[in-house]
Amino acid sequence: MNKKKLTSDKVSVEKNNTINAWTGPFIMAAANTRVVRRGAALLAESGGGYGKNFVYKESAYYSKKHKAYTTTLMLGVLGFVIMTPLRKIVRPFLKQPGQGPSQAVMDSGFFKCKLVATGENGKQKTYIMSGSGDPGYKVTSKFVCESALSLLGDHASLPGGLGYGGILTPSSGLGGVLINRLKSVGISFEEDS
């Protein structure tokens, strides 16, 4: 299979036996996958990285097949509405700037990512990244704040050191410093047993 097909964004629903779940498109994958691949390329340029055959794909996962299909259909409808003149009709019914979720909704939210890594030898390991709080508001603000604090902290521990710069990604610019900061504010990174 060619690398372009291996890295293409997911648009369909399918069973993933590795994580025993149904997978479908993830709304943030189009941005996230490009950031991860750029980070891998920048790390490879500096003598690190994840290996010459590195491939990264991202999808949402669901315990039930019908949930995967329903969510995929809703994402398709949302995309159609946003990309056509229909958005003008729908806009008045959507939340306006400053009308985000309530504090209770932000406090009760959570996220859980399953990360499956397959080595060149074919061995697989699954990792879980998780945290509490609404992913779109509370967790994202933690990521942004801890990224900024990583830049203000120990420059020598950042990938590339003090003189490294340019248009970097979290992995190529912040690395383990960011991971440690995120752990300190309740974001968990664990190997799945």
Q: Where are the domains of the chain?
A: 1-94, 99-193
**pLDDT for the residue 92:** 87
Give the residue ranges of the chain where pLDDT is below 50: none
This prediction has a pTM of 0.84
Give the C-alpha separation, 22 to 192, whole Å.
Answer: 18
Using CA atoms, how far residue 17 sits from 20, 84, 154, in Å, is 5, 37, 41
Q: What is the mean pLDDT of the chain?
A: 90
Tokens read off for 55? 């491939």
Nearest 5°: phi and psi at 34?
A: -70, -35
Q: pLDDT tens-digit profile of 145-162?
A: 999 999 998 788 999 877
